[in-house]
Amino acid sequence: MEILVLAVVILFIILATVRFKMHPVFSLTIAAVSTGFLLGLSPKDIMDTLGEGFGKTLSSIGLVIAFGTVIGIYLERTGSTKVLANYVLKLVGLKRSPLAINLAGYLISIPVFCDSGFIILSSLNKAISKKTGIPVLVFAISLATGLYAAHVFVPPTPGPLAAAAILEADLGMVLIFGLLVSVPVSLTGYFWARFIGKSLKEEVTDKVVAADDAQKDFGITPFQAFLPLIVPIVLIAMKSIVSYPTYPLGKELVFDVFNFLGNPIIALLAGVLLAVSLGRKVPAKQKKGWVTEAFKQAGLIVLITGAGGAFGAILRTIDIASVINFESSSGIGGLLIAFVIAMVLKTAQGSSTVAIITTSAIIAPLLETFGLVGATDKAFAVLAIGAGAMTVSHINDSYFWVVSQFSNIDVKNALKGHTLGTLLQGVVGITLILLLYQVL
């Protein structure tokens, strides 16, 4: 009965999102309440469990998501994303410009949503294509896959943040291992772009799809543009290092300092202060609504994440492991199951973030059964879910349409270039995760 309820609820989430265009906040909340009643919980128990799950999830990442969004808005609006892209292009060289675009997209997608990142940088694709003679679609796919890699693996992107909160994983470990996995996954997209991009055809169209490149130069240097990205990442990583069971840097002053500064809220707040400093030359009137806009964007993600946490809390009332008759499983088996569930949800309903949050809620009660109980184990579980949630981006994914429309690619070529690229990235991602899990 419990498994039937779970299957029906998951099917409802998919149909509500895809067929009836219901917002994930509503579909996840309705799913949570319905699951509670179908499992025989009392109305009071349902509401108590929902409130506890919602509040517990957001208490750890609500401000982190908000601060990360503010950093992204300031990088975008001050032109810092273009500064970063041009710096990477200069560093890597014009001959390897598709690689530079891939790496620039990867860096920018850490605080900026991949859709926005592609729109911002798409105008660079055509300009560099004219200089180099390399087909523009090589740049488009290279950029799209670079953006996508960080989007599902590297905090403070909302998906990995939410999964870490729901699975109670150490965010620093998710960050460190996420960087190890996501860089090769990003480069996989680059190699795929070089292989397939020359065989794709750009549509002949009069549509104006390029991003507006007329952005004022505020005199931001690459070093200044990098700081809001690098400082929070270093601080969060250092917290995990000093907190490692062997305490490599001792338990005194250094430990206390990095244990505080590396708290995700404090680390992201430092990033916000550095990002805000980028806008010091921007007229006050022009930047007046930036923070408000960032909080509006963050609010949607926060609510989806909280609803996912509430759904997860209801699911924790089921002993799923005993119901399905799981025997004590290896960690690799658990990671593969997490990957497949996320892949099915992603492919069915389109949103990587929704796939990550829903899968995390389903997998959380099974971690102990799968033997994924340590800090490292839970970090790899987050990454396995992320790998599934990028497999694959196709016609029900808004990002698919951003990539195709801003690159003048028809649906057939977009499926061949972008969709197959994300499939390859997902397979490479889970393969790397399983290999690292075995080694570590």
- Residue 2 and residue 4: Cα distance in Å, rounded? 5
- Residue 252 and residue 254: Cα distance in Å, rounded? 6
pLDDT of 349 > 70? The answer is: yes
Structure tokens at 222: 């690459």
> Vertex 164, ends 161 and 168: CA angle to 5°?
145
Would you place residue 210 in the very low, low, confident or very high pLDDT band (cuts 50, 70, 90)? very low
Calculate the average pLDDT of the chain: 86
When mean pLDDT is compared over 170-184, 230-244, 250-264, 301-315, the highest value belongs to: 170-184
Domain locations in the chain? 2-210+219-439
Bigger pLDDT: 298 vs 163: 163
When mean pLDDT is compared over 36-40, 167-171, 243-247, 411-415, the highest value belongs to: 167-171
Are 175 and 236 in contact, with CB atoms under 8 Å apart?
yes
Dihedral over Cα of 370, 157, 88, 121: its sign: positive
- Residue 154 and residue 416: Cα distance in Å, rounded? 26
DSSP states of 248-314 as a string? TT-SSHHHHHHHHHTSHHHHHHHHHHHHHHHTTTS-TTTTTTHHHHHHHHHHHHHHHHHHHHHHHHH
Would you place residue 321 in the very low, low, confident or very high pLDDT band (cuts 50, 70, 90)? low
pLDDT of residue 60: 72
pLDDT of residue 114: 86
Q: What number of other Cβ atoms are within 10 A of residue 395's Cβ?
A: 12
pLDDT of 408 > 90? The answer is: no
pLDDT of 178 > 90? The answer is: yes
pLDDT of residue 190: 96
pLDDT of residue 211: 45
Type of residue at 75: L
For 108-152, write each residue's pLDDT tens digit.
888 888 888 898 788 788 888 888 888 889 999 999 999 999 999
